[in-house]
């Protein structure tokens, strides 16, 4: 059972109930799972794949995989961690297949509901994030945005939590230095590690 709500909007009891119903043959209840996680998984895939179209395709593929593998899900880890693990490996496989050059991260596409020009702050964020690897972007999203612990991220990625914590600290320091170099740094703006 989920212990907390990464991303802040998922009711873990509702998800577990929907999963139980799907396992009992009530396939229409899978829509509850999709609605609960679709935006979060899209954002995660977008940061890893850096393409709106590829992220949209990946989200569809991931939810098909999750549905097909739902019998394998065990409550030893949270459903969301299991889902992110499938998403992580799917995106890595896609990146390996594509072997594309990195493309610039677009805040326009990430925030489709926004209108108008990119603000100076958004331009600064984009310029800081554009040089991150997919692995670094994924780590940053899972810890700073989705608020997963390093132990949960270790379950998702298959890496050691201590190594992830160290990598996050190096990444955080590098982003702070880049921001100071580009101007506009204010204490407390970059997520602290926990």
Residue 193 within any structural domain of the chain: no
Burial category of 140 from C-beta neighbours within 10 Å (exposed 0-12, middle 13-18, buried 19 and up) = buried
Give Cα 59 to chain centroid, integer Å: 11
For residue 91, the tally of other CB atoms under 10 A from its CB is 24
**Residue 85 scores a pLDDT above 60:** yes
Output the CA–CA distances (angstroms, integers) from residue 108 to 41, 48, 105, 119, 140, in the order listed: 18, 16, 9, 11, 19
Kindly state whether residue 51 falls inside one of the protein's structural domains.
yes
CATH number of the structural domain spanning residue 68: 1.10.1740.10
Query: For the chain, what is the total number of helices (H) and then of strands (E)?
Result: 9, 0
Residue 194 lies in a domain: no
Q: State pTM to two decimals.
A: 0.61
CA angle 183, 188, 190 (to 5 degrees): 70
State the virtual CA torsion across 80, 99, 104, 162 in degrees, nearest 10. Answer: 50
pLDDT in tens, 164-175: 999 999 998 988
Whether residue 190 lies inside any domain: the answer is no
Maximum distance among all Cα pairs of the chain, rounded to whole angstroms = 57
85-89-95-98 Cα dihedral, nearest 10 degrees: -140
Q: Averaged over 130-149, what is the pLDDT? A: 85
Q: What's the structural domain count of the chain?
A: 1
15 is in which domain, residue-wise? Answer: 6-182
- Whether residue 111 is contained in a domain is answered as yes
- Answer yes or no: is 123 within a domain: yes
Domain for residue 189, yes or no?
no
Q: 139 in a domain, yes or no?
A: yes
pLDDT exceeds cutoff 80 at 194: no
Q: What is the pLDDT of residue 73?
A: 94
């Amino acid at each position: 059972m989920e212990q907390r709500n990464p991303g802040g909007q998922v009711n873990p009891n509702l998800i577990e109930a929907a999963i139980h119903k799907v396992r009992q043959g009530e396939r229409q209840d899978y829509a509850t799972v999709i609605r609960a996680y679709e935006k979060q998984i899209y954002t995660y895939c977008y940061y890893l794949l850096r393409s709106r179209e590829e992220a949209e395709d990946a989200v569809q593929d991931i939810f098909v995989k999750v549905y097909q593998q739902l019998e394998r899900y065990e409550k030893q880890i949270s459903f969301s961690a299991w889902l992110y693990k499938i998403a992580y490996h799917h995106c890595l496989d896609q990146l390996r297949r594509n072997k594309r050059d990195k493309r610039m991260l677009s805040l326009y596409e990430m925030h489709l509901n926004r209108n108008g020009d990119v603000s100076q702050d958004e331009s600064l964020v984009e310029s800081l994030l554009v040089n991150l690897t997919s692995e670094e972007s994924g780590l940053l999203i899972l810890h700073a945005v989705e608020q997963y612990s390093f132990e949960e991220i270790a379950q998702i990625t298959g890496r050691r939590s201590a190594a992830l914590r160290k990598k996050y600290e190096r990444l955080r320091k590098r982003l702070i230095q880049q921001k100071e170099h580009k101007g506009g740094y204010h204490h407390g703006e970059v997520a602290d590690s926990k």
